[in-house]
Structure 1
Amino acid sequence: MPVTDEDAAIQAIAALDTLSAEQKQALDAINTILQDDEPFADIHELFRHYNVLYFRKLLLPRVELLWSPRLTLCAGICELSKDPTTGKYTRIRLKMSTPLLQYRPRSDTINTLLHEAIHAYFFVTTSWRHSRGDDGTGHGAGFQILADAISDHGNYDITIYHTFHDEVDSYRTHVWQCDGVCKDRSPYFGLVKRSMNRAPGKSDSWWARHQQECGGTYAKISEPEKTKKQREALSKKERAGMQKNKLDGWVKASAEGRASGKPVETGKEGETSLKSGGRQNTETVVESNAASQKRSRAASGDDDVLFVGKKVLVECPICSMRLAESNINEHLDVVHLS
């Protein structure tokens, strides 16, 4: 009869009744690590000691432990996969999220490590049956029994689900909006937010139902700023499209600024804002052409006076050059659109 999660949990808990000399040594090493004031923990060293203390020395070398910079939806994950040589489910990989845990208290990292180590223990003892346990998520009775026992023994707080919702949401920077009826329905209002640039489509389990009940089309409405490396990899056509968007934004804001009589400041990334106080976006410039000299002489009656006045300077949205507002159109036409 195959071993169940509950069977494996009871066996691990029984080993805690009377600790062996090796378990006591592992416990002392763990306490030494956790008593220091370091904000970070060496998860590989802790994992080695936890393997002896709580998991009957079954995890090493079967389980690969690593930090993952791409894991942004959960604090940790334990994967069981097939060995390509044998075709059996024997490969176990435990991943810890760098983005979600790097700024959290050390206790969150340790509790997450133990949570995933429990999954790894069940994968070792019950194989693929663990992920199809009595609750369908691997957090059934066996998991809860062992998690509670370890938490009580070491004063940990091993929970079923993490509460890092703000951190998770901060990485969901690719956003799509549906134009169908679901945009007016809670709780999602037609929005799909993801940490990776993968548009909603047939690969999503909910896609067929959405097509039947809504039938709307998703359009991307938000995405993170491209890195320097990503910008350099763009084609000329893609770069031209980005410049056009920046130019459109500048023209709109410039028109609003002229209508309100306020100068327009253009940032390096094409963002525009109207300034209504403080240091104005003006600098002293010298007009040395004949027309300006003629106007100044006529006004002052002095042939030797060179007119000096103030002009609003703006920044080109494409090359970031600063020049007089009256010359920006000529600059764009000659330098960038020719």
Structure 2
Amino acid sequence: MAVTDEDAALAAISTLDPLSKEQREACDELSAILSGEGSFVDTHQLFRLYDTLYFRSLLLPCVEVIWSSRLTLCAGICELVKDDQGKYRRIRLKLSEALLKYRPRSDTVNTLLHEAVHAYFFVTTSWHHAREDDGTGHGAGFLLLADAINNHGGYEITVYHTFHDEVDSYRTHVWQCDGPCRSLPPFFGLVKRSMNRPPGKSDTWWKKHEEECGGKYTKIAAPELTQAQVRKLGAKERAGRQKNKISGWVNSPTSLPLATTSGARQRCQPSNKRPASPLDNESTSRSRRVVACPICDVSLSQDLINEHMDECHPL
């Protein structure tokens, strides 16, 4: 008869009263670590101790713990991975660096324990950890063992995390549907993602959307490019980005020093300078205002900036 999650949970719980010598030592070491100040925590050290204390020392041989900078939709995940023979007999616990790095240490500890419970069931039930009706694996066995660990160590292992604000802050790629669904709650035609992956056939809801709405998605928001990404752009792409902001930039009251006459800056000076009219006070004022070119950083009078952009940096 196959071992169920409930069977495996009861087997782990039975080791908590009384504790073995190894478990007591692990418990004491954990207390010393978690009573210290600061937010840093050595997750590998904690995982080793928790394996001894709560999981019958079954996890270390086949489970690895890593931090992931790309995991932004949940605080942690437990996944099966292939071993050297191509069989799914190893387990990887991923912790979200993005979501946990600025939160209290207790959130990292509780997330680590949550994913370790999943790993324990994968190991003890012949890799058939029950996913239950909702497909999450938080069935009776999970709740039984999680409650026992919470009661024993004063932890707060929960089924779902509450880091909704943090998750949403990473969903900076946004698409808007132009169909009827844009007026319907709860999403109002919006799709927000942390990665630049447009809505499409790979989404489980796509077919239903095609049948009931039929609208097309257009990207309406994206994160600002990093400096490294901007440097990789071509000259025309950089010029286009700056021209979109030219009006706000030209109106800036900041005065900059006059251009030098050396090197590349001298070559970027406009060849046809239009003199300001001495009869027009406003024109004279504009001609005296010095601004810097957003492409080559050359400084020149404000009334010459458009000619300079057209001549030296044409699209």
TM-score normalized by the length of structure 2: 0.86
The alpha carbon displacement at 1:231 in A equals 2.9
Structural mapping, 1:199-218, within 5 Å: 199-218=198-217
Please name the residue that 1:312 is paired with: 289
Please name the residue that 1:247 is paired with: 243
Q: In the TM superposition, what whole-angstrom CA distance separates every residue of 1:159-213 from its partner, at most 9, and x where no partner exists?
A: 0000001111111111111111111111111111111111111111111111111
Contact kept, 8 Å, 2:175 with 2:221, in 1: the verdict is yes
Residue type at the aligned position of 2:196: N
Please name the residue that 2:182 is paired with: 183
Q: In the TM superposition, what whole-angstrom CA distance separates every residue of 1:142-171 from its partner, at most 9, and x where no partner exists?
A: 001110110010001110000001111111
Contact kept, 8 Å, 2:93 with 2:116, in 1: the verdict is yes
Contact kept, 8 Å, 1:112 with 1:158, in 2: the verdict is yes
Please name the residue that 1:231 is paired with: 230
- Quick one: distance in 1 between partners of 2:51 and 2:29? 12
Q: In the TM superposition, what whole-angstrom CA distance separates every residue of 1:71-112 from its partner, at most 9, and x where no partner exists?
A: 11111000023436153x311000111110000000000000
- Quick one: distance in 2 between partners of 1:330 and 1:206? 51
Please name the residue that 1:264 is paired with: 251
Contact kept, 8 Å, 1:68 with 1:98, in 2: the verdict is yes
Structural mapping, 1:121-160, within 5 Å: 121-133=120-132, 135-160=134-159
Change (3 A) 1:155 1:282: same
Q: What percentage of aligned pairs have identical amino acids?
A: 58
3-state SS of paired residue (2:160): coil
3-state SS of paired residue (1:15): helix
The alpha carbon displacement at 1:113 in A equals 0.5
The alpha carbon displacement at 1:225 in A equals 1.6
Please name the residue that 1:281 is paired with: 254
- Quick one: distance in 2 between partners of 1:185 and 1:150? 43
The answer to which of 313-322 and 91-100 deviates more is: 313-322
Contact kept, 8 Å, 1:78 with 1:120, in 2: the verdict is yes
Q: In the TM superposition, what whole-angstrom CA distance separates every residue of 1:202-239 from its partner, at most 9, and x where no partner exists?
A: 111111111111111111111112223323444x3xx5
Please name the residue that 2:55 is paired with: 55
Please name the residue that 2:307 is paired with: 330
Please name the residue that 2:42 is paired with: 42
Please name the residue that 1:67 is paired with: 67
- Quick one: distance in 1 between partners of 2:195 and 2:257? 47
Which structure's residues are more often strand, by fraction?
1
3-state SS of paired residue (2:288): strand
Name segments (4+ residues, structure 1) moved above 4 Å.
Answer: 282-285, 307-310
Please name the residue that 1:192 is paired with: 191
Change (3 A) 1:125 1:209: same
- Quick one: distance in 2 between partners of 1:241 and 1:218? 24
Name stretches of at least 5 consecutive residues in structure 1 with no aligned partner: 255-262, 266-279, 297-306
| Count of residue pairs brought into register by the alignment | 298
Residue type at the aligned position of 1:155: G
Please name the residue that 2:112 is paired with: 113
3-state SS of paired residue (2:65): strand
Residue type at the aligned position of 2:141: G
The alpha carbon displacement at 1:61 in A equals 1.6
Contact kept, 8 Å, 1:13 with 1:146, in 2: the verdict is yes
Name stretches of at least 5 consecutive residues in structure 2 with no aligned partner: 259-272
Contact kept, 8 Å, 1:100 with 1:168, in 2: the verdict is yes
3-state SS of paired residue (1:57): coil
Higher relative contact order structure (alpha carbons within 8 Å, sequence separation ≥ 6):
2
Contact kept, 8 Å, 1:79 with 1:94, in 2: the verdict is yes
- Quick one: distance in 2 between partners of 1:246 and 1:310? 21
RMSD: 2.7
Residue type at the aligned position of 2:98: P
Please name the residue that 1:260 is paired with: none
TM-score normalized by the length of structure 1: 0.81
- Quick one: distance in 2 between partners of 1:178 and 1:308? 48
Which structure has the larger Rg? Answer: 1
Residue type at the aligned position of 1:220: K
Contact kept, 8 Å, 1:201 with 1:207, in 2: the verdict is yes
Residue type at the aligned position of 2:307: E
3-state SS of paired residue (2:196): coil
The answer to which of 172-181 and 105-114 deviates more is: 172-181
- Quick one: distance in 1 between partners of 2:65 and 2:53? 17
Contact kept, 8 Å, 2:290 with 2:301, in 1: the verdict is yes
3-state SS of paired residue (2:77): strand
